[in-house]
Structures are given as structure tokens and as C-alpha cells.
Amino acid sequence: MTLFKGAGVALVTPFAEGNVDFPRLAGLLDWQISSGIDSIVSCGTTGEASTLNDEEHINTVKFTVEKTAGKVPVIAGAGSNDTAHAVFMAQALEEAGADGLLVVTPYYNKCTPKGLIKHYEKIADAAGIPVILYSVPSRTGVNISPSCVKELSQHPNICGIKEASGNMSQVVEIARYVSDDFALYSGNDDMIVPLLSVGGIGAISTVANIMPSETSQMIHKYLQGDTKAAMKLQLEMKPLIDALFVEVNPIPVKAALSMMDKIKPEYRLPLCEAENLSLYDIMNQLRNYKLIR
């Protein structure tokens, strides 16, 4: 059931003149795979899934599956605050060829823990591919508590969680509750090594968009027992990670990729271009890491 170990990139969705830029997406996918990334997460938060219509969402995942050609697992971002729509998308993305689903918590409704469990069970029952829970309360207003994770981890089709609460105490509690075959992934780039230290097996990462090789190396060094080298990489990357979150994700990381000439600096409203001060910070960090001149 484990979909991957190591670094999964929460890939951006490039746009050109308002549409998904498939040629640029192809270039990103080739670069990520040649750099040693362990998994591609398509149409997640960083992929601006919230402003993709269903057809664009499904086609982007399908294109990603076809382009990667089985070289790495493709995990499709999914989820909704409407359980029926979440089920529809889960089945459509499975049909598009995704190897697994990353299912964000329902937002806005702010359901009870009982409703949250029922929501995920309904999706997992309907899907024929593994489901990874995605807890990011800063964006959705809904947290998956350790007790909910414990119960949901018993479902045969729920294989792990992307934990992006930013609360290490909660991460530790989740690690206490789940079995060794339940995958724990970091959703916070500045907490990857700390999460690995309590049994995590990888990350679904934003910084991997611009440093795929280094992010994968950091995680694999830790998993192979070279904890000092992994810790060194984590600390060295911290200023760059901070720059990538100087404004709401994915505004800074798309700006960075644009500076690296990999995509156009295009967003969908209500997201928009970064402020000049933010761009200056991002550019300085890219220069510090020799990612641009």
C-alpha cells in the first residue's frame, strides 16, 4: 500500500494565457524525474487545484501520468467540501491513471470528527487506489486529530497522511497511534527531518519544485542512517524555504520557477503576482543557492 518513500514534489501547475501550459508542464516533469524525485503529486494545493475546473484537473493528471510513463508514482490531489463530488473526482482521477489520491480535508463546512471520518471512509470505499489523508488546517480550517487518524488508518484503502498542521506534538501523537505500514509524510518543508525522526518515510514538498535532487537526497540520507548529513541539508535549506512561504503558496514558488525560466509567472485569481519586496527576497535566495545568476 505504500505509494513511495522519499520526496514527492507538490508540483505547480504552469499556466499560459489562462490555460494549463502543457509544454511547460512536460518540461517540469522531465526535470523532476531526471533529478531523482520519488513521486509526483499533481493538482494539489501547490498545483492550484482550487481554481482548476474538473476537466482541467482530470486532464492535467492524465497528462502527468502519460508523460511520466510509470517512472515514478503519480498521486492526484483530490478532495472537496462536498463528499459526493469528492467521490466523483476520486473515481475520475483513478480512471485517468493516478496511482494514488491525496485527499484534502473538507473545507468551509467545518464538519465534526464523526463527519470527517464518514467523509473519508466514503471516498476510500469508492476508490480502487490508495488514499493519503491531507491535513492542512491553516488552509482549510479543519484539522485531522490524532484520534481520527488512528481510526481512519484502520481502513484498508487509506495508506498514509500528509501532515501539514505544523504541530510536532500532534505529529508525535499520530506516530504513536499508527502502525508501521501507515505512511507518515511531512507537509511542511521546514519540518521534514523532525518528522522523519518519529517514523516518517518522506515528504510531499513545495521546495522540491526548485530543488528536487537536494530534497530527495536529504530524505534518503536520513532513511539510510546518515542523520547528520540530513540535518545539515535541512538547516541549510531553511532560508530558501522561508522565502518560498513569504507569501501564500504557490505564489513564491511559481515566481522562483519563473526566475529559473521554467514556467511563466502566471496565476489564477484570487492568487496574483508577488510583491516586489517578496520577489527581491526570493531572487536573493535563489542566487545564494546558485539556482540563478
Active site residues: 134, 162
Query: CB-based contacts of 46: which residues, under 8 Å, 6+ apart?
Result: 10, 11, 12, 206, 209, 249, 250, 253
Q: Give the per-residue SS3 of 60-79.
A: HHHHHHHHHCCCCCEEEEEC
For residue 273, the 8-state DSSP code is P
The residue with cell 508525535 is 172
Amino acid letter for position 249: N
Residue among 211, 206, 4, 215 at smallest CA distance from 98: 4
Helix (H) or strand (E) holding 110: none
Cell of 93: 482521477
Q: Are strands 131-135 and 100-104 parallel, antiparallel or unpaired?
A: parallel
Give the residues across from 203 on adjacent strands: 7, 186
